[in-house]
Amino acid sequence: MAINVGDPVPDVSLKTQAGETVNLQSLLGQKILVLYFYPKDDTPGCTKEACGFRDSYTVFQDAGAEVIGISSDSPTSHQQFVNKYQLPFILLSDERNQARKAFGVPSTLGLLPGRVTYVIDTNGIVRHLFNSQLNFQGHIDESLKIVQTLSNAS
């Protein structure tokens, strides 16, 4: 079952690009979370999306948000991706697709892992989701609008 706006974030633990285990629940309460699921490191669309989040990262941080990317790639692959494109945020490795399943991220045409971004408030409630396989910039723009709205409301 897919997570929708108004639902609490699932309790999932994943490894970062540095191999450290991070529990999503432990990140709640500090900042607004922008979790973006993407298909694969170092592919054209995923690179464009990651670099878009990178280029807007300080704007997200200034608005009180943390950006985190999630794909099924290994921590080693994530570290290479981070290094190659100077990504300033955490990438989480979902090698067993447990987070994808917990969030209910759909696949495209039954083959390609979906591209969905979730904006989660400090209480752990999903406030917005954006699902588009091809509108890479839309993930950044939509998320930023919601983050700024949430920041202004608090």
User: Is 5 inside a domain boundary?
Assistant: no
Catalytic residue annotation: 46
User: Is 82 inside a domain boundary?
Assistant: yes
Secondary structure of residue 86 in the 3-state scheme: coil
Q: Which domain covers residue 105, as residue numbers?
A: 13-153
Res 100: pLDDT: 95
User: Is 7 inside a domain boundary?
Assistant: no
Secondary structure of residue 85 in the 3-state scheme: helix
User: 61 and 74 in contact (C-beta within 8 Å)?
Assistant: no
Res 110: pLDDT: 72
User: Is 1 inside a domain boundary?
Assistant: no
Query: What pTM value is reported for the model?
Result: 0.96
Q: What is the mean pLDDT of residues 38-53?
A: 97
Work out whether strand 112-113 and strand 107-108 pair parallel, antiparallel, or are unpaired.
antiparallel
Q: CATH number, domain at 26? A: 3.40.30.10
User: Is 6 inside a domain boundary?
Assistant: no
Q: What is the mean pLDDT of residues 100-128?
A: 92
Tally the domains of the chain: 1
